Amino acid sequence: MDITKILSGLRLSSTLSAPLYLQIATALAAKIQDFTLPTGTKLPPERELSRLLGVSRTTAINAYRLLEERGLVSTRIGSGTFVSNDAPTFSQQTPTMPWEQLFTPGYKAPLSSIMRSLIDSPTADETISMAAGMPDPAFYPLDMIHSQLDIRRHPIDPTDLGLIATEGYLPLRRSLSAWQTRLGNSASADQILIVSGSQQGLYLVVKAFIEPRDYVIVESPTYLGAIQLLESSGARLLCLPPSGKIDMEIFEDYLVRYRPKFFYTMSDFQNPTGRTMTLAERQELIRLAARHRLTIIEDDPYSQLYYGAPPPPSLKQLDTYGGVIHLGTFSKVLFPGLRTGWVHAAPTVINRLAQEKQYVDLHTNNLAQMMLNTYLVEDALPAHLSSVRREYKKRRNAMAAAIRKYCGPLMDFDLSEGGLYLWGRMGSSVSPSELLRRSAALGISFVPGDAFYAHGLASHEIRLCFATHDEERLIEGIRRLGRALSAVSATASTAAESAGRPII
Ligand SMILES: Cc1ncc(COP(=O)(O)O)c(C=O)c1O
């Protein structure tokens, strides 16, 4: 038995969500259980295993440790690691389900683990997380929640706690349409569908409109959640070239050549770049879209978080042909756990989306909808918005000043006029993932730019959220980022010099 051959034939993948040690242990366990590695076989020492598989020694040690815990191998000090004499055989093991084989053939989002780790509470530990687009819990309107939960002050009509219309709690649809109309996005209640966050709104739109191989135009970079959803639907993404503004020639070329199903965009304070479309760009977009009967999905979590002048009118407001579907959410302005957002579109579209929503959750949680309705009816939102705008503006300014001070010439950025992010651009010799590794060791995090590009385009950018922490922690976070960046740049320069390459 050539054990080296057996082991070097093991297939490992760094893109799978399972860690490498677990992949190795699982593969070895399978070989033990099908007797390819019979009882008593001496396994290679950890150092040799790590060399054979091209992994670190710690990974090899952890794999053996796990197999030992499961009783499949035993370690004899001074002799090595052996397949146990009493290794449980297949017949002795509890039968397991081959889940992976039973799932429908599906898209494996290479970035889904990024999304999940972003959602991990950024304030739960000592790490200064500038990764997730999370508002600061200190600004959550707790007074409103406490008052709403006081049933004596706000008696609940028990019939409101039963099943309600999929489209949403009618009083909320009315108060939301009044709020949107006040902002210029004129809406009637039958044009509003309440959804469990705008991510669900986007999901319903994709379900209703997209068939595999349909084309969709997206900006580049764009929201990670949209890339994942669209790719999982089988859509083909037409990416607009990264630039400060939309290239209308390419946009029209896409329309004529590919007849895309829709254009997905964030017109205000885009995630991740913070960019806002000019009024002229919006008007030109609408002109082209109207001419080609193109649906536009305007995803708008950030328009009310402006730190200077309010942004220009939304695409929905400028819509001359009824083709804009507007997605809104309370996640960024109130709190993300509320899971309440809305879709504003033509009643025909709302009906179709409601049908899709019915298959998913019947309707969005009543209590959250009732709470929001009172909040809107009492007109408490404008004061809350003024207060968070004031605070986030201070934080944006603090982060910007700290980047200039600590990251100096190594990082460039444009000052976002709203939203939650600064988009840092670095030299092409700096690898954002290497920077993230070093930053994690210093107790800070951010999102590497690659996450926001479809088609795996390499990026030398990072997204920094300035909303989650107060100014003092943000400045400390950026000071550490500066240290990590200097170290990564110095290493990159040395490597380039020793390779005789010019340093860019
Ligand atoms: C552009 C964009 N769309 C949608 C969402 C999801 O929002 P919600 O919490 O309402 O589902 C986010 C959250 O970060 C976002 O940035």
Q: Can you say whether the dihedral through the CA atoms of 490, 492, 494, 500 is positive or negative? A: negative
- Site to probe by mutation for ligand 1, drawn from 194, 202, 267, 329 as the one with most ligand atoms within 8 Å of Cβ, is 329
pLDDT beyond 90 at 467: yes
- Residue 329 Cα, ligand 1 centroid: separation in angstroms? 7
- Residue 304 Cα, ligand 1 centroid: separation in angstroms? 14
d(CA 267, CA 277): 5
d(CA 242, CA 159): 51
- Site to probe by mutation for ligand 1, drawn from 119, 205, 299, 421 as the one with most ligand atoms within 8 Å of Cβ, is 299
Q: DSSP letter string over 306-336? A: BSSSPPPPPHHHH-SSS-EEEEEESTTTT-G
Q: What percent of the chain has pLDDT over 90?
A: 63
Give the tokens for residue 20.
């490498």
pTM summary value? 0.79
d(CA 257, CA 252): 8
Which residue's CA is minimally distant from atom 14 of ligand 1? 133
d(CA 166, CA 200): 13
Say if CB 231 and CB 454 are below 8 A apart.
yes
- Residue 421 Cα, ligand 1 centroid: separation in angstroms? 13
- Residue 13 Cα, ligand 1 centroid: separation in angstroms? 30
In sequence order, what are the residues at sequence separation of 6 or more whose Cβ sits closer than 8 angstroms to the Cβ of residue 22? 63, 66
Express each pLDDT in 375-392 by its tens digit: 999 999 999 999 999 999
Segment 26-35 mean pLDDT: 83
- Distances from the Cα of 136 to the Cαs of 11, 123, 274, 391, in angstroms? 43, 9, 18, 10
Q: What percent of the chain has pLDDT over 70?
A: 90
- 502 band by pLDDT with thresholds 50, 70 and 90: very low
- Residue 301 Cα, ligand 1 centroid: separation in angstroms? 6
Which residue's CA is minimally distant from atom 8 of ligand 1? 197
CA-based R_g, the chain, Å: 27
- Residue 270 Cα, ligand 1 centroid: separation in angstroms? 11
Say if CB 274 and CB 238 are below 8 A apart.
no
Q: What is the DSSP code (8-state) at residue 265?
A: E
Determine how many CB atoms are found less than 10 A away from the CB of residue 376.
Answer: 18
Q: Which atom of ligand 1 is nearest to the CA of 340?
A: 10
Q: Which residue has the higher pLDDT, 464 or 27?
A: 464
d(CA 273, CA 127): 23
Express each pLDDT in 60-79 by its tens digit: 888 888 888 888 898 887 78
- Coil, strand or helix: which one is 238? strand
